[in-house]
Structure 1
Amino acid sequence: MSQTQPLLAVEGLKIRAGVDGPVVVDDLAFDIAPGQIVALVGESGSGKTMAARAAIGLLPPPMRVCGGSIRFQGQDLGSLSPQALREIRGAKIGMVFQEPMVSLNPALRIGEQMAEGMRLHTEFDEQTIRQKCLQMLGDIGIRDAERCLQAYPHEFSGGMRQRIMLASVMLLRPALLIADEPTTALDCLAQLDVLKLMLELTAKQGTAVLFISHDLSLVARYAHKVVVMRNGKEVEQGPIDQVLLNPRAEYTRQLLEALPSRGELPPLPQANAPLLQIDGVQIAYPGPRRMWRKSEARRVVHGANLHIAPGETLALVGGSGSGKTTLGRAIVGLVKPSAGEIRFQGHDIAQAANRSHRLQCQMIFQDPFSSLNPRMSIGQILAEPLRHVPDMSPAQHRARVLATLNDINLPERLIDRLPHELSGGQRQRVAIGRALVRRPSLVVADEPISALDMTVQKQILELFERLQKQYGFACLFISHDLAAVERIAHRVAVMCQGDVVEIGPRDEIFDRPQHAYTRQLLAASCPLEKLEGGGFRLRQTPATS
């Protein structure tokens, strides 16, 4: 291959669903040079993942390539037999999928899954394969590599599973790595670790990267070139400083304008006492069962102290495993603290009859698809919390459901649909509507926008702000998206390994962070911000300036 020839060249790519179905990718063209990082960005459904999967022959049925060409190292991949394509897939083109818990086999140990590719594509003996696996696990920061080989995927956090998936792919030293949303649903520190690891491994081996993401800040920080897609078509492409920092296309500017930014928050109502008071709360989970000795409990929250005023939004931020979700679940009564008090409207929820508390405290779960009953219609899901409202007739139930549909900006025709018939953004709206249909005093929102693209995130945040202003509920907003927190929160609490290490007003936390861990989080986020002249730049945080 000559020095001027691209490693991967996509020309006029067209992908259709079935024979006469809709076109999902239309006339797409871009190329990747050896060692280059090219990003595909756009909203959900823009065709990013389909274009990447076409390169390795893994299009899901009924998708098929019906036009154009994909050339890798000068070879047309579309003309290869399935056997020849299998020899390239994995060995020369590797892919890291969006959700490692789905792409890693839960029934196989990590060692078996890491060794599989080397057994298929190399002639190394088992001892050599094992040594290479151990060396790679050490390179990605796994302390006890021997134990890791014998462990199962569920024994690791999301960030560690993504590291293991990346290590498995890079063991074969591919010339091209396709990374499909490799940091979705990871906190900003884990995102930084995974991306730095990916760049170190690819730079060491001279690997090019096709980086698929909806996080424009990460793309601007790490990619050399970006291709913006909409409805299967290219909108514009070019170097980062020309496309993301100085966008020409109106659609690219719309994506950038959708990024959350700090704004003025409405003043809080005067209150004599907090709505929720948390004093010295500790939460522990039982350890694994032992045959001959008592298991030791694992403490995940260490003496948390928080309060939330009526109508206030308190954001709870921190890395994965810091105890944010566990504390949120304890507030709504789904987890029992081992020590301390949680007082709602002045009453200890563990001592008092907590029926009133449960009805006035609602939770929006992180993944709406798994939290919505797949056998219930949208109308039934929204009506379910109203069962415990006394003296409410079926006609009143339906009227409240229709009013809630209007509140969350969903058409009435969706009332008989099932959750799988809705988009991710629509399902998140249903999850919000289910939490608000009873008009609660407090809502615990657990990562409500983590897996949504930029424009849908903006819609959900605007919806949430409007409904909070309309109904006046308080909110514990649990998130690793610091840009969203900066937009929506009155105060911010930072958790690190079970401890609340810093708490204060939003502007104080973002502009004058006191704790080293808070400064570390802010340095890892590094969001894009708009300039007065219309361009954009990566913000220099207090930790990095």
Structure 2
Amino acid sequence: MTEPTTLLSVEHLSIRVGSDGPLAVDDLSFSVAPGEIVALVGESGSGKTMAARAVIGLLPAPMTVCAGRIDLHGVDLATLGIEPLRKIRGATVGMVFQEPMVSLNPALTIGRQMSEALRLHTSLNTQQIHERCVQMLERIGIHDAEGCLLSYPHQFSGGMRQRIMLASVMLLRPALLIADEPTTALDCLAQLDVIELMLELTREQGTAILFISHDLSLVARYADKVVVMRHGRSVEQGGIEDILLAPKAQYTRQLLEALPLRGTLPVLPDADRPLLEVDNVCIEHPGARSFWGTSQPNRVVHSASLSIARGETLALVGGSGSGKTTLGRSVVGLIKPCAGSIRFEGVDILKAANRSHRLECQMIFQDPFSSLNPRMKIGDILVEPLRHEPGMSAASRAERVRQTLHDIGLAEHFTTRFPHQLSGGQRQRVAIGRALVRRPKLVIADEPISALDMTIQKQILELFERLQSQYGFACLFISHDLAAVERIAHRVAVMSRGKVVEIGTREAVFDSPQHPYTRQLLAAASPLEKIEGGGYRIRPGVVPGAL
């Protein structure tokens, strides 16, 4: 008996918002063969996640399937009721969600959550389920599998939580795995680790993958076939070489052109005059407290040294947990080092009560939705930093807010809106505006584009470059996105396990890396590059995972 050529067939699928609302997915068709990796790509709101959720009947209200077929093994999933779908979810079709900290229950142990699907879909007894979970955890590289089963999600890093989530799904050996942005908030090494593990597990079990992502570099590296979506419709689909490496649709070319490319940076007039000097800084977190006392503190930054000139952008890169955000927070006084010195304009801020330093250093936080007060209107958020500006009248503050809105590309009527009424890119613009409204000399930008689509990332990077050229502020740009760093940074500092292992000009670090960890980071970075003639190719030296 021959193996079927199609595992999943989506035919003319349409999903409507409510009974008479707009179409979130409009006449979408694609197929997935056994063992094949098919990627759905597009910007936020393109309908790719809604199409994937429709496969297992997990559309959020008021979304409903209004037309089309979702054929899996000859069964139309769109017509099944709740109970038949429950038997398919997990057992035949598994799903890895975008944010494991949200999809994993914080109140339940890892062992209880991993065993749930086995209890529902198999006849294994408690001991057999326990053994299967331990084997899977050991398979994904968890050294203390027994201890992991007794632990809670918050006790693991983002990469480890995603690995555990993947292990939980693969326990049942599903025929189809839906991976919804499984690496969005991870650094490039953790991304590579999670994707390689996912491919390894699925190849062992012959599982097909429906991979949802806006990261075109990952798609080019691993997918067999790509479906490019916009406004709920498929604008182009086919093999990697046909779509990403030789795009035909204008929208596909627009997505690819949003990939950051190395550009020419302006010459710094005061490159020899440091604005900020960080000298042998050490930072420790307090040890855990118990009945018997407090354990030894955990040192997270070890003798880190760097400097930033006026108007310069220094990128601080490294994996999650390397200490780069902690070091950035110490520069603005949010964390106090246990050793070393931080000099701003020649004054040691750890010894002098320098209030002007706090006003001249501003921070752009990673998640604008969390850092913007949900109860304050945008106008109030932007005017708040000006309350410490001496001698400014109410009219002057209002004019500064209007100028800032113009600088960040938002209309004046946005002052009356709340953060939840803005898109992710608009919220990030507000976060940048809040940091720049006082015209600071130094900005700490902590992962400012990590959760944004490629086209929005390009807009934010262009905005940031324009404002830096306009106002001349220096920047400590903290990021794990090496493509963005290559575009925007004058110099690059690489951190690993709390230490600055390499620092140099952009060209020196990217073209001639000296430290093995830097070379490891670059090997895991974006593999797509533009070639003459308008096409794109996988960067030489990078071996695609599934081509």
TM-score (norm 2): 0.98
For residue 226 of structure 2, what is the aligned residue in structure 1?
226
For residue 362 of structure 1, what is the aligned residue in structure 2?
362
Amino acid at match of 1:447: E
For residue 158 of structure 2, what is the aligned residue in structure 1?
158
Q: Please state whether the residue corresponding to 1:275 is helix, strand or coil.
A: strand
Q: By how many angstroms is 1:5 displaced?
A: 4.2
Q: Please state whether the residue corresponding to 1:90 is helix, strand or coil.
A: coil
Q: By how many angstroms is 1:271 displaced?
A: 5.2
Residue 89, structure 1, aligned to residue 89, structure 2: yes
For residue 352 of structure 2, what is the aligned residue in structure 1?
352
Amino acid at match of 1:193: D
Contact 2:225–2:239 (8 Å) recurs in 1: yes
Residue 429, structure 1, aligned to residue 462, structure 2: no
Q: By how many angstroms is 1:527 displaced?
A: 2.7
Spell out the pairing of 1:74-223 with structure 2 (5 A cutoff).
74-223=74-223
Q: By how many angstroms is 1:88 displaced?
A: 0.1
Distance 1:436 1:542 in 2: 39
Distance 1:259 1:175 in 2: 33
Q: By how many angstroms is 1:353 displaced?
A: 1.7
Contact 2:93–2:174 (8 Å) recurs in 1: yes
For residue 506 of structure 1, what is the aligned residue in structure 2?
506
Q: Please state whether the residue corresponding to 1:525 is helix, strand or coil.
A: coil
Q: Please state whether the residue corresponding to 1:283 is helix, strand or coil.
A: strand
Q: By how many angstroms is 1:2 displaced?
A: 5.8
Distance 1:315 1:59 in 2: 40
Amino acid at match of 1:465: E
Spell out the pairing of 1:42-81 with structure 2 (5 A cutoff).
42-81=42-81
Instruction: Tell me whether 286-295 or 426-435 shows the greater mean CA deviation.
Output: 286-295
Distance 1:4 1:237 in 2: 21
Aligned-residue identity in percent: 73
Distance 1:120 1:106 in 2: 21
Contact 2:27–2:68 (8 Å) recurs in 1: yes
Contact 1:519–1:543 (8 Å) recurs in 2: no
Distance 2:218 2:369 in 1: 26
Spell out the pairing of 1:254-333 with structure 2 (5 A cutoff).
254-270=254-270, 273-333=273-333
Distance 1:272 1:187 in 2: 32
Q: By how many angstroms is 1:78 displaced?
A: 1.5
Counterparts in 2 of 1:382 and 1:70: CA distance versus 1, 3 Å: same
Amino acid at match of 2:538: L
Distance 1:272 1:121 in 2: 66
Amino acid at match of 2:455: T
Q: By how many angstroms is 1:412 displaced?
A: 1.1
For residue 38 of structure 2, what is the aligned residue in structure 1?
38
Distance 2:6 2:305 in 1: 57
Contact 1:522–1:541 (8 Å) recurs in 2: no
Contact 2:272–2:309 (8 Å) recurs in 1: no
Amino acid at match of 2:73: Q
Q: Please state whether the residue corresponding to 1:68 is helix, strand or coil.
A: strand
Spell out the pairing of 1:433-512 with structure 2 (5 A cutoff).
433-512=433-512
Distance 2:76 2:537 in 1: 39
Contact 1:483–1:527 (8 Å) recurs in 2: no
Distance 2:233 2:541 in 1: 35
Q: By how many angstroms is 1:538 displaced?
A: 1.5
Counterparts in 2 of 1:169 and 1:319: CA distance versus 1, 3 Å: same
What do residues 409-461 of structure 1 show as CA deviations (whole Å, max 9, x unaligned)?
01111111000000000000000000000000000000000000110000000
Distance 2:295 2:5 in 1: 60
Distance 2:265 2:427 in 1: 27
Distance 2:57 2:275 in 1: 55
For residue 420 of structure 1, what is the aligned residue in structure 2?
420
Counterparts in 2 of 1:210 and 1:77: CA distance versus 1, 3 Å: same
Distance 2:272 2:6 in 1: 67
For residue 404 of structure 1, what is the aligned residue in structure 2?
404
Distance 1:412 1:170 in 2: 50
Distance 1:13 1:3 in 2: 25
Contact 1:523–1:543 (8 Å) recurs in 2: no
Distance 1:387 1:274 in 2: 29
Q: By how many angstroms is 1:542 displaced?
A: 9.7
For residue 373 of structure 2, what is the aligned residue in structure 1?
373
Q: By how many angstroms is 1:541 displaced?
A: 5.7
Spell out the pairing of 1:324-343 with structure 2 (5 A cutoff).
324-343=324-343
What do residues 153-209 of structure 1 show as CA deviations (whole Å, max 9, x unaligned)?
111110000000000000011000000000001000000000000000000000000
Q: Please state whether the residue corresponding to 1:444 is helix, strand or coil.
A: strand
Distance 2:347 2:64 in 1: 60
Q: Please state whether the residue corresponding to 2:211 is helix, strand or coil.
A: strand
Amino acid at match of 1:281: V
Contact 2:13–2:25 (8 Å) recurs in 1: yes
Amino acid at match of 1:249: A
Distance 2:294 2:96 in 1: 40
Q: Please state whether the residue corresponding to 1:470 is helix, strand or coil.
A: helix
Distance 2:245 2:542 in 1: 21
Structure 1: state its 5+ residue gaps. Answer: none
Q: Please state whether the residue corresponding to 2:504 is helix, strand or coil.
A: strand
For residue 529 of structure 2, what is the aligned residue in structure 1?
529
Contact 1:419–1:427 (8 Å) recurs in 2: yes
Q: Please state whether the residue corresponding to 2:105 is helix, strand or coil.
A: coil
Distance 1:508 1:443 in 2: 24
Amino acid at match of 1:177: L
Distance 1:159 1:271 in 2: 38
Residue 244, structure 1, aligned to residue 253, structure 2: no
Residue 20, structure 1, aligned to residue 20, structure 2: yes
Q: By how many angstroms is 1:526 displaced?
A: 3.7
Distance 2:166 2:542 in 1: 31
Contact 2:527–2:542 (8 Å) recurs in 1: no
Contact 1:40–1:210 (8 Å) recurs in 2: yes
Q: Please state whether the residue corresponding to 1:370 is helix, strand or coil.
A: helix
Amino acid at match of 1:383: V
Distance 1:527 1:503 in 2: 23
Amino acid at match of 1:350: L
Aligned residues: 544
Q: By how many angstroms is 1:535 displaced?
A: 1.2
Q: Please state whether the residue corresponding to 2:280 is helix, strand or coil.
A: strand
Contact 2:271–2:312 (8 Å) recurs in 1: no
